[in-house]
Amino acid sequence: MIYFVPIAFLAGLFAYSVFRALISGFYVIRPDQRAVLTTFGRAQRLSEDTVASDDDPHLTADEKLRYRYPVVRVIGPGGPYFKWPWQDVYKVSVSTQAVDLVWDPTKSQSTIEAVTKDNLTTGVNGQLRFRVSESNLYPYLFGVRSPLEHVMGYFVSILRERVATFVDPKGQSLLADAHLGDEPSETSVELSEGVSINDLRKNLPTLNAYMEQQCASTPGRYGVELDAALITTIDPPPEVDRALSAINSTRNQVAADLSTARADSEQQITMSKRAVEIAANNAQAEVAPLRELATTLQAIKGEGGSTSLSVYLRNMRIPLLARARRVVRNS
C-alpha cells in the first residue's frame, strides 16, 4: 500500500503526458500560412550560413552586415504535422494584408502629421499593403518584437522626410527651361508661387512610387514585403486650407488676367499689322499711275524725241485748260 501511491501517481503523470502530447502535438497549416518549428526555442535552420541578405540589391554593404539572419526551415500548408512537447510552432499568414497609415499600437490618431518644405503642417492618410516574406521569416518571427510596428515607423519616417523636402520635379524642369529665356512666361510666374501642399497633391503617384522604392529594403530588414503604398489624402488644417484656397483663387485670377492681357496685346499687334498693310497698299495705288505716266513719257521721248514729247504735253494740257477757270503762269 505504501508503494502503490507513488506508482499510481507516476502512472497518472505518464498517462497525462502521453495524452497531452497526442492532443497538442498535432497541428495543421492553412493554405495562407507558413510555419517555423523551434526546438527548445531554437528554429530549425537549413544551414549555419547566415547569408540570406547577401543577394538583396536593396541593402547597402553596411546593412548586409547588420541584418544577417539565418535561413530557417519553413513548413508549408498541409498536415496534420506532429511536434514534441518541447517544440513550438510559429504560424504566420503570408497573404497580402492592408493597414491604415495611422495604425499605431501605442496611440490613437486619425492622421499622420508632417511638415512641408514651406513649414506648413499637413495631415497624411492612406493605406499600406504588405505581406510577410516567406523566404525570410526569421527576422519577422524572431528579429524584432513587433515587425509591423517597425515597418510602419520606418515608412512614416521616410514619408515625413520626403514631405519635408518634396519639390515638384515637373515644376523644377519648367522653371529651369523658363530661366533660359529672357521673357518670363505664365508657367514660370505660376510655379514661382507654388505651395508644397499643392505640389504634393498633384504628385501623389510620384510620392507613392518613391515610398515603394525606399521601402524595398524592408524584406531584408524585417521580413515584410511592401506591396503598395496608397497615400490618398493630404489634408492641411482648416485655417491653412482656407489660406490655400485664397492663394489658388488669386493665382487663377492672375492667370486669367494674364491671358486676357496677352490676348488683347496680340489683337492690337494684329490690327497694327493690318493697318500698315492697308497704308502700304494705298501708297502703292497712288504711286502706280505716276510711275506709269513717267514710263509713257520716257517712251514718247525715246521714240519721237523732245518735239514729240512737247506736242504730247500740249495735247494733254488742252483738256485741262478747257476745264480751268484761271491759269497762273510763272516765267
Peptide bond into 237 cis (omega under 30): no
Mean of per-residue pLDDT scores for the chain = 82
Residue 279 has pLDDT above 90, yes or no: yes
The secondary structure of residue 310, as a DSSP letter, is H
**Top-confidence range, 177-191, 260-274, 296-310:** 260-274
How far apart CA 141 and CA 132 sit, in angstroms, is 10
The grid coordinates of residue 309 equal: 514729247
Please report whether residue 231 resides in a domain. Answer: yes
Q: Looking at residue 306, what is its pLDDT?
A: 87
Residue 4 has pLDDT above 70, yes or no: no
How many structural domains does the chain have? 1
Please report whether residue 104 resides in a domain. Answer: yes
- How confident is the model over 300-314, as pLDDT tens digits? 888 888 888 888 888
- How confident is the model over 21-65, as pLDDT tens digits? 777 788 899 998 999 999 888 888 886 656 556 677 778 888 888
Please report whether residue 324 resides in a domain. Answer: no
Please report whether residue 319 resides in a domain. Answer: no
Helix (H, G, I), strand (E, B) or coil at 61: helix
Q: Looking at residue 187, what is its pLDDT?
A: 46
In the numeric block, the cell 496680340 is attached to 266
**Top-confidence range, 89-93, 141-145, 181-185, 194-198:** 89-93
Please report whether residue 302 resides in a domain. Answer: no
**Pick the residue with more confidence: 191 or 134?**
134
Please report whether residue 137 resides in a domain. Answer: yes
Residue 135 domain boundaries:
3-236
| Beta-carbon contacts of residue 74 (< 8 Å; ≥ 6 apart) | 34, 35, 36, 134, 137
Long-range contacts from 49-52, C-beta under 8 angstroms, 24+ separation: 52/135, 52/136, 52/138, 52/220
Please report whether residue 244 resides in a domain. Answer: no
Please report whether residue 278 resides in a domain. Answer: no
Distance of CA 181 to CAs 103, 174, 193, 315, Å? 49, 11, 19, 67
Helix (H, G, I), strand (E, B) or coil at 235: strand
CATH number at residue 104: 3.30.479.30
- How confident is the model over 131-154, as pLDDT tens digits? 998 888 888 888 888 888 888 888
